[in-house]
Structure 1
């Protein structure tokens, strides 16, 4: 197993290197000039050239990339061109808020998805199975930002049950209950698509295990159904469920970035939107890099967990 772990970790390194290159290339080729945004239209060519030199924007592409990469390896993500503060200081605070929202979405989609999938798989073709799978099919097709707007309109603007924006009430800054109120709608909006995917896969995995020959053998020996399900069915259906749940974390991160702008949640999505609008290159690069690295790391951890549950998969 240690060989499999080492192989997976080593296989991630070229992926991470490729991520850094394409993130830098994408931002480099994007239209707009941050120096012009800072100095304005009245700036002289000398002032523009001086500021471009200060930020290293006058160097060739590869020189800029390797200089940026060397700073990243040292833990230095640079300074925000607009805010004039270290990118890491702003990014970590917003990234923490994004992780909070992602965790809330993950709890909803994994918890409800597995429960719905198990109940549907245990009684296929029942009314619950038909309705839940129809809703899952419908939920998998809904854009998260559109669903966020609909949920806000219903539960915030029409019913007034939940807040429509922000992370806390101004009167209850830091309150856990206030945080739960504010994160419920964006978490549900983000979780719906992943919930549908997990529910359908859980149902399919459960039914595959239930129809396996060794399960039929246990039944023929008179072993109670509840015992078979607890000891054998759930354990053998875990690997694909955990695998797809891990993959959905990356999808949740992507969905959270859009939902944050809808609900004015102070996370990476909102920060990236502001940075893109202002063409704040260091902030854009660092934000996209954080999201990409998180996705790669989650996939790595998922593979390792699945391998521990089923060592045969590692070969």
Structure 2
């Protein structure tokens, strides 16, 4: 297992390198001059040349890319000209709250998605299966940001049950109940789509496992249906579910950006 994980990690290196090259080339081809944007009304040819020289923008493209890549690998992500602070400091100041939001949403989508998929598969074509399938399809079809705005309108504006903004992380002096109250709406809105995806794929994985011989053998030996579903079938289906959870973790983390804008 360790060798397989190492092999997969090493195979990701050229992919990530290719992504950095593509992104760097796209940024280089965007119309406009960073020096002119920084200087504004003071963008004289002399000042533009000076800024380009100070920032290393006057060198060949390959040289600029290698300099940027070397600095990034060393932890230097550059400096924000809008805030006059290192970019890494800005990211770290805000990443804690993002990680809490994404982590909470991921736990919700993993637990609820797997449970919904297993229950749906266990009662295939029954009332529960149809109800879960309808709820899953409805959740997948609703954009997270729209659901977030509707939740704000109902639970914050109309009912005044939950706060909209002002979350303080525990490490920033806030308490756990306050943190949880602020997480209810954004984490729920962020988790809905991912929960639907996990539920659908969990149902498919469970149905495939339930048709296998070892499940029929367990039933023939008198194992209770609950034990067949939760102890045997779900454990075997997790082999197919875990990769889906890994993919959804990335989607949840990236989707947190839009949810943070709404809230």
Same fold (TM over 0.5): yes
Which aligned segments of 4 or more residues in structure 1 are displaced greater than 4 angstroms? Answer: none
Q: Work out whether 1:110 is the aligned partner of 2:110.
A: yes
| Runs of at least 5 residues in structure 2 that lack an aligned partner in the other structure | none
Pairing of 1:171-190 with structure 2 (within 5 A)? 173-190=173-190
Relative to structure 1, is the Cα distance of residues 130 and 149 closer, same or farther in structure 2, using a 3 angstrom cutoff? same
Greater alpha carbon shift after TM alignment, 190-199 vs 174-183: 174-183
Superposition pairs of residues 69-148 of structure 1, within 5 angstroms: 69-148=69-148
Q: Hey, what's the Cα distance between the residues in 2 that align with 1:182 and 1:95? A: 16
Identify the residue that residue 222 of structure 1 maps to in structure 2.
222
Give CA-to-partner distance per residue, 1:102-145, whole Å, 9 cap, x none: 00110111111112222222222222221111110111111121
Residue 61 of structure 1 deviates from its aligned partner by 1.9
Residue 248 (structure 1) shift: 0.4
In the other structure, the counterpart of 1:28 is 28
Matched, 1:43 2:43: yes
Contact 1:34 1:81 in 2 (8 A): no
1:51-71 CA-to-partner distances (Å, cap 9, x unmatched) read: 222112222222211110111
Q: Does 2:80 correspond to 1:53? A: no
Aligned residues of 2:39 and 2:48 also touching (Cα < 8 A)? yes
Deviation at 1:173, TM superposition (A): 4.9
**Partner of 1:10 in structure 2?**
10
Q: Give the unaligned 5+ runs of structure 1.
A: 264-315
Q: Contact conserved, 2:165 with 2:182, CA < 8 A, in 1?
A: yes
- Say how many residue pairs are matched: 261
The alignment's TM-score, normalised by the length of structure 1, stands at: 0.77
TM-score in terms of structure 2 length: 0.91
Report deviation, 1:14: 0.6
Superposed CA RMSD in Å reads 2.0
C-alpha separation between the residues in 2 aligned to 1:107 and 1:131? 22
Contact persistence 2:118–2:229 (CA under 8 A): no
Separation in 1 of the partners of 2:2 and 2:161? 51
Distance in 2, Cα, partners of 1:97 & 1:218: 46
C-alpha contact 2:118 2:234 (8 A) present in aligned 1: no
CA contact (8 A) 2:140 2:197 kept: yes
Separation in 2 of the partners of 1:168 and 1:231?
A: 40
C-alpha distance 25-167 of structure 1, shift in aligned 2 (>3 A) = farther
Query: Quick one: distance in 1 between partners of 2:134 and 2:14?
Result: 41
Q: Aligned partners of 1:186 and 1:102: how far apart in 2? A: 9
What secondary structure, in the 3-state scheme, does the structure 2 residue paired with 1:140 have?
helix
Select between 116-125 and 193-202 the one with higher mean Cα deviation.
116-125
